[in-house]
Structure 1
């Protein structure tokens, strides 16, 4: 079975610009131009609260496929930082999988979407245990197999770490796919602050500050930040919240806590794919080139695509929809060709 590869994505000008791809990926313009089919996963979706363990509750939405007599499998989707289950890329991918006969579960991380009021403690990127526990709850409540996972950006990082932890946690995960995942958070943080154009930093900081203010309003008796901390840049605010809300001794230790750089993925035992773009202005491509991966993990570095963009043309649909669906379908058909490096 021939699967699509990153080299197959050849967008027309001006979509050959990584910056344009990145800016369009989460833009309101793209959401307005998307065809109705890209929102299909929202129809008949059932809002769900899942168990994150130790009293933690996470929200999500389950949509059952209506194409086949029985589903191909259960697809779980993770959004990126300050995204949600209703982010454009999540809706597109979920809708594409639904049309291929997959049941789809979209999971919100803590304090994402409209879930700020569910848990008093603040979200941070090292809260992997609750995500793996939620995956186990999802797998128990919806036992359709195979169970396949896809994540974007920070969600891609979570997907890879969840795939590492799944066997020991008893989660029957068959496959994981990460689109433009954060690899080395320390390098990514530096690149976003110092190398990427200023508007990326401004965009993420605006969304993050809005999220923190929403959290504070819901728990007025808890001090999540000081106003002076909220005015700091990405590195400064992250360091302040690490000191205030985690057990990590330093910002560096916290960033190391969710890194998948170097040889950290060597122990990954299930099939997986990492798709990124050489022109991604957020995550340095060198982080991917330094990865040490086992044979069943496919690394695919496309020339174009930006950060979680891969937009094909005026209809604003993404190459990643077909890319993910093809690999999920191969897993369901027991036709996975094994890992390979496509650079």
Structure 2
């Protein structure tokens, strides 16, 4: 574990200001401008999540330039492929010569109509399946992934499952990932953090209403249920739309706390802000990480903010790009060494024959 070089100006050292500005419409527009400036061509795709599941995503590549690899980006809960950090990170990776695929989780972005069953945070299997499909379609060499908040949690679980799925990942970067979901819920329920609780309640209710309008026979939920607070509404989700018996079991299902990341085979970098108002810091200090996993904790940054200046340029997106580029270079070097060793071995075998 190490510190971070991120040091914003004094007026940007309030975590709530960082969090609010980081997800503002102004910053989304800045991200769109940054993407446009790369000259990349972006196309929509439906990818295979397995068992009939379809997920939507955006593939971006600069024309007439062979990509140096492919980066899969994962957004946070109630975010989308068009979230500000997704656009800004895509722009950074495109500028470095990579292709980018921004995946929407089920029921995020404009994808509610694609699947009858609703989203929940334990749907990791379909994200792994989609990643394998993306790898097969675009033949990335190397392939990398990054995620923010809940997307960071998904990215870490993707890294854990990648070897068994036959998915070759050169590296992962996660910014303010959800580590312990139960503790995260408690953190938002603290009185001075309830602004975030209300935000997620409002956006999730709107998502569920949209889903109900599309699939009224499958999602039979009344307005009284939708008016429940976040904990009670999540409990309803667990009891009626998952195989988990209790809220605690549901949270434990996607937790990566304690030693759950100790078996990681993929190189991982994690960036966390000590003043994050949403994600509890102590869960990061309790992580048991392998030697090829690196945790950076910044004094400032809020929740996925890490803004640098009045233009709302971001440190986190640059950090993700730099870390993934290092992992890609290491993968290319290892691949070249393997190729040379194979060639030498084949030559020696031919001479002995």
TM-score range, shorter chain: over 0.9
Counterpart of 2:346?
none
Counterpart of 1:28?
25
Give matches, 1:80-229, under 5 Å.
80-194=76-190, 196-229=192-225
- Structure with bigger gyration radius: 2
Report the Cα offset of residue 203 of structure 1.
1.0
- Conserved? CA contact 2:187–2:193, under 8 Å: no
Is 1:245 the counterpart of 2:241 in the alignment?
yes
Report the Cα offset of residue 72 of structure 1.
1.4
Report the Cα offset of residue 197 of structure 1.
2.3
Counterpart of 1:341?
none
- Conserved? CA contact 2:212–2:219, under 8 Å: yes
Alpha-carbon separation, structure 2, partners of 1:40 and 1:160: 30
Deviations 1:21-47 (A, max 9, x none): 111111123334568225557952100
Deviations 1:131-155 (A, max 9, x none): 0000000000011211000000000
Alpha-carbon separation, structure 2, partners of 1:211 and 1:297: 35
Counterpart of 1:296?
292
Higher helix share: 2
Counterpart of 2:337?
none
Indicate the larger mover: 69-78 or 288-297. Answer: 69-78
Seen in structure 2, the aligned counterparts of structure 1 residues 278 and 246 have a Cα distance that, compared at 3 Å, is same
Is 1:57 the counterpart of 2:61 in the alignment?
no
Quote the RMSD (CA, aligned, Å): 1.9
In the alignment of these two chains, the number of paired residues is 332
Seen in structure 2, the aligned counterparts of structure 1 residues 41 and 268 have a Cα distance that, compared at 3 Å, is farther
Seen in structure 2, the aligned counterparts of structure 1 residues 264 and 40 have a Cα distance that, compared at 3 Å, is farther
Counterpart of 1:281?
277
Alpha-carbon separation, structure 1, partners of 2:321 and 2:51: 34
Indicate the larger mover: 14-23 or 248-257. Answer: 14-23
Alpha-carbon separation, structure 2, partners of 1:134 and 1:35: 25
Report the Cα offset of residue 195 of structure 1.
5.0
- Conserved? CA contact 1:35–1:315, under 8 Å: no
- Conserved? CA contact 2:31–2:85, under 8 Å: no
Is 1:263 the counterpart of 2:256 in the alignment?
no
- Conserved? CA contact 1:79–1:152, under 8 Å: yes
Counterpart of 1:326?
322
